[in-house]
Amino acid sequence: MALKRLAALAGAGVMALGLVACSSTGGAPEGSGDSGGGGTVDTPRITIAMITHEVPGDSFWDLIRKGAEAAAKKDNVELRYSNDPEAPNQANLVQAAIDSGVDGIAVTLAKPDAMAPAVKAAEAAGIPVVAFNSGFDQYKGMGVQEYFGQDEKLAGIAAGERLNGEGAQKVVCIIQEQGQVALESRCAGVKQGFKGSTEILNVNSKDMPSVEATITAKMQQDPTVDTFVALGAPIALTAVQSKKNAGSEADIVTFDTNAALVDSIQNGDVVWAVDQQPYLQGYLAIDALWLFLNNKNLIGGGQPTLTGPSFIDKSNIDAVAELAKAGTR
């Protein structure tokens, strides 16, 4: 049932993306002569702030930023990118963007309760806000007009169901930041979709040596765990090292990708990854604001525009490997 719903939602996301592809070429383009997405529209220059909960050292966010920069270049947008993993600081960045008079704001909602007052302040100032990457279940209630990302719980269910088909019996889902709604939803989805035993292991992504030690210890203490589910590429790659430390036979699977993870899938250290297409999230967030500010378009028909999930494994890794090395997948 979950997979049928996944297919329907993914289809809606692809349809919405098709509308973007058709609509975002408006204006009279001027040839730029580069490979960064064609010419630049002739609409007035606008300023958009993109504010994320980026964790330092996580190259996942480089993909989001590259997508945003590509859309900004095409759409004649001045992009102001900033980030802070601490929700109160991220909220302060939103307020600073409001005070500076930006035309639009694209924001992640990893901790929506902390972000809500700043989002409402933007709306009160007449600044359109779109959300991406996190906040799937909360963005509508906060008055945010569009969302680009994946349904994290549904992605987790799909991962759990895949693990069933692969014969897994006992999995550990690793959460690298407690209280982060997207991560909590992923593990909740895995638990719902997986028929075996699911355990949560909390680690601190701000201290990667401790992450390695914690996962190593868990592998040594409980060899009956056959699969460790990471929720980000850096955690997955650390788990690969932990597996070597512990002499474990457990499989490593993950959510999200980066160039280093591509190599790990190719050589078999990581079995598969759930891909939510971060480059696309960054691109659509900026492009959607440009469409709204210039033509009052809203993407998604009041529903979130899904960018995932899909699975990357040995069967299709070669198709995205070069793109990943170029920094767009």
CA distance 214 to 149: 30
264 CB contacts (<8 Å, ≥6 apart)? 236, 237, 240, 270
- Helix 317-325 and helix 259-266, axial crossing angle in degrees, nearest 10: 150
Computed on alpha carbons and rounded to an integer, the radius of gyration of the chain in Å comes to 20
User: Which DSSP string do the residues of 83-136 spell out, in sequence order?
Assistant: E-SSHHHHHHHHHHHHHTT-SEEEE--SSHHHHHHHHHHHHHTT--EEEESS-T
Burial of 118 (0-12, 13-18, 19+ CB in 10 A): buried
pLDDT of residue 10: 42
Collapsing DSSP to helix, strand or coil, 215 comes out as helix
pLDDT of residue 24: 34
Per the structure block, which two tokens stand in for 302?
């009041």
- In tens digits, the chain (329 residues) has pLDDT values of 444 444 444 444 433 333 333 333 333 333 333 334 446 888 999 999 999 999 877 788 999 999 999 999 999 999 999 999 999 999 999 999 999 999 999 999 999 999 999 999 999 999 999 999 999 999 999 999 999 999 999 999 999 999 999 999 999 999 999 889 999 999 999 999 999 999 999 999 989 999 999 999 999 999 999 999 999 999 999 999 999 999 999 999 999 988 889 999 999 999 999 999 999 999 999 999 999 999 999 999 989 999 999 999 999 999 888 888 788 88
pLDDT of residue 325: 79
- 34 beta partners: none
CA distance 218 to 196: 18
CATH entry, 2-150+277-307, from 3.40.50.1820, 3.40.50.12780, 3.40.50.2300, 2.60.120.460? 3.40.50.2300
Instruction: Spell out the long-range contacts of 130-133 with Cβ–Cβ below 8 A and sequence spacing 24 or more.
Output: 130/104, 130/105, 130/106, 130/285, 130/288, 130/289, 131/106, 131/107, 132/64, 132/106, 132/107, 132/108, 132/281, 132/282, 132/284, 132/285, 133/52, 133/64, 133/108, 133/182, 133/276, 133/278, 133/281
Rounded to 5°, angle at Cα 55 from 52 and 58? 110
CA distance 69 to 45: 14
Which sequence spans correspond to the domains of the chain? 2-150+277-307, 152-275
Question: At residue 60, what are phi and psi to the nearest 5 degrees?
Answer: -55, -40
Question: At residue 175, what are phi and psi to the nearest 5 degrees?
Answer: -100, 120
Question: At residue 250, what are phi and psi to the nearest 5 degrees?
Answer: -65, 150
Asked, colleague to colleague, whether 2-150+277-307 and 152-275 share their fold, the answer is yes
User: Exposed e or buried b for every residue in 14-50, given b needs 16+ CB within 10 A?
Assistant: eebbeebeeebebbeeeeeeeeebbbbbebeebebbb
Contact 157, 166 (CB under 8 A): no
How many helices (H) does the chain have, and how many strands (E)? 11, 12
pLDDT of residue 39: 66
- Find how far residue 124's CA is from the centre of its chain: 27
Contact 227, 173 (CB under 8 A): no
Per the structure block, which two tokens stand in for 230?
């990471």
Element (H, E) at 15: helix 2-23
pLDDT of residue 36: 43
Per the structure block, which two tokens stand in for 117?
């007052």
pLDDT of residue 211: 98
Its CATH class, for the domain covering 152-275, is alpha beta
The torsion region of residue 128 among left (phi > 0), alpha (psi -120 to 50) and beta comes to: beta
